[in-house]
Amino acid sequence: MIHVVNGPNLNLLGRREPEVYGTRNLKSIQKELEELAFVNNEKLNFMQSNHEGELIDYLQALNEGDRVILNPGALAHTSIGLRDCIVGTGIEVVEVHISNIHAREPFRHTSVVSPVCRGVITGLGADVYRLALTWFIERV
């Protein structure tokens, strides 16, 4: 199973700062991913929360072998708890960011989550989700 996990404010995609995040909403991204997963016989589960603890609880409940596409949003820059959860559970995570965090405000340049993820895809708009999913599918 592949889990697509989104952190704070990603429920506002499509209307939040479209010049930065584009005009696609989370539902349309989810639909595209479901179609790609279906044709590749892969199962997906989606989760979004604005609460750090809910994200951590969700990740801790995953099964061995589950894979995660994680857009931690702003928690990438602040959440040692999320980082420690990834390390402690041993889950395989690809971190994604719609915007290029390295081309934005200096406080966004460092992700405390990136060093414990399998990979990071950033700055390619909503396509980051599809690219991460394709990578997981092709590895199976």
Examine the residue annotation and report whether 58 is marked as an active-site residue of this protein. no
The DSSP string of the chain is -EEEEE-TTGGGTTTS-HHHH-S--HHHHHHHHHHHHHHTT--EEEEE-S-HHHHHHHHHTPPTT-EEEEE-GGGGGT-HHHHHHHHHH--EEEEEESS-GGGS-GGGS--SSGGGSSEEEESSTTHHHHHHHHHHHHH-
Examine the residue annotation and report whether 77 is marked as an active-site residue of this protein. no
3, 21, 58, 129: the active-site residue? 21
3, 51, 77, 97: the active-site residue? 97
Structure tokens at 100: 């290029």
Positions marked catalytic: 21, 97
